[in-house]
């Protein structure tokens, strides 16, 4: 259940934690002790960091050990396994929805979810120029850090980004329709560049939206869902930029 802050309430001010005084609030209408929320945020970003390291490790194996990538694309069994790995994250989300509070089952499911997506990312990178991958990775890192810092700064000053939800959902629906059109009626390199640029903008919005939810709305037992949301934002932003730069490079 999401934590929704009430319209108005007392603020927490800076003070000595040992004397029983609370720290400054993360946002103006905060009612909970900021130390609890900061602990939750650190936990989520710790999980997210492990997910990103695992993704880099798995993707690096797929990219640099060429027989792995060739197995997936050159054999019937490998292609079927590739399709299964694409579908697997959606399958894992179902039990994860019911067991996200059950430790360590939730973390095991989260690990399986991350590995499945990591293989898909690795196979995408395996047939992409190294320069394009590096450009996409650097830009993704800069954008994620910048937008995260901006969201914390804006939340501190009372800004709220919950209004972005319907617009971002509509943007994702446009991307889905765009993908289906591109699948059955390929529109060429320019359309891929437009798709990549539009997708990158949408997932930049999702980074702000989900970070704002992390600060204000997620309850303490939803750390797995918070990590999943931010992880998907980062991965989708990277893949969108990869699509954009690869189309421009070709």
Q: Average model confidence (pLDDT) for the chain? A: 84
* Rounded distance between C-alpha atoms, residue 145 and residue 150, angstroms: 9
pTM listed for this prediction: 0.86
Of 24-28, 110-114, 196-200, the poorest mean pLDDT is in 24-28
What are 162-181's pLDDT values in tens digits?
A: 999 999 999 999 998 988 88
CB atoms within 10 A of CB 162: 13
What are 51-64's pLDDT values in tens digits?
A: 999 999 999 998 88
For 2-23, letters b (16+ CB in 10 Å) and e give ebebeeeeeebeeeeeeeeebb
123 confidence band (pLDDT: 50, 70, 90): confident
Do the beta carbons of residue 31 and residue 10 sit within 8 Å?
A: yes
Q: What is the 3-state secondary structure (H, E, C) of the chain?
A: CCCCCCCCCCCCCCCCHHHCCCCCCCCCCCCCCHHHHHHHHHHHHHHHHHHHHHHHHHHHHHHHCHHHHHHHHHCHHHHHHHHHHHHHHHHHHHHHHHHCCCCCHHHHHHHHHHHHHHHHHHHHHHCCCHHHHHHHHHHHHHHHHHHHHHHHHHHHCCCCCCCHHHHHHHHHHHHHHHHHHHHHCCCCHHHHHHHHHHHHHHHHHHHHHHHHHHHHCCCCCCHHHHHHHHHHHHHHHHHHHHHHHHHHHC
Provide the CA 245 distance to its chain's centre, in angstroms: 20
Q: Tokens 């999702």 map to which residue? A: 206
Residue-level pLDDT at 2:
30
Q: Prior bond to 19 cis, omega within 30?
A: no
């Amino acid at each position: 259940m999401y934590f929704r802050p009430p319209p108005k309430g007392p603020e927490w001010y800076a003070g000595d934690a040992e004397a029983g005084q609370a720290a400054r609030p993360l946002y103006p209408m905060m009612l909970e002790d900021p130390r609890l929320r900061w602990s939750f945020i650190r936990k989520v970003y710790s999980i997210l960091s492990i997910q990103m390291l695992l993704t880099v490790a798995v993707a690096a194996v797929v990219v640099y050990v060429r027989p792995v990538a060739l197995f997936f694309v050159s054999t019937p069994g490998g292609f079927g396994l590739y399709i299964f790995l694409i579908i697997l994250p959606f399958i894992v989300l179902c039990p994860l929805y019911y067991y996200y509070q059950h430790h360590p089952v939730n973390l095991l499911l989260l690990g399986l979810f991350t590995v499945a997506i990591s293989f898909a990312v690795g196979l995408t990178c395996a047939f992409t120029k190294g320069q394009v991958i590096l450009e996409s990775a650097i830009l993704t890192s800069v954008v994620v850090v910048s937008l995260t810092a901006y969201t914390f700064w804006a939340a501190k000053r009372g800004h709220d980004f919950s209004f972005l939800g319907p617009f971002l959902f509509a943007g994702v629906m446009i991307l889905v329709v765009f993908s289906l059109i591109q699948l059955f009626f390929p529109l060429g390199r320019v359309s891929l560049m437009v798709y990549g640029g539009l997708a990158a903008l949408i997932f930049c919005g999702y980074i702000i939206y989900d970070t704002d939810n992390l600060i204000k709305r997620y309850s303490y037992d939803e750390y797995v869902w918070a990590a999943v949301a931010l992880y998907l934002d980062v991965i989708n932003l990277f893949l969108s930029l990869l699509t954009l730069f690869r189309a421009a490079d070709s």
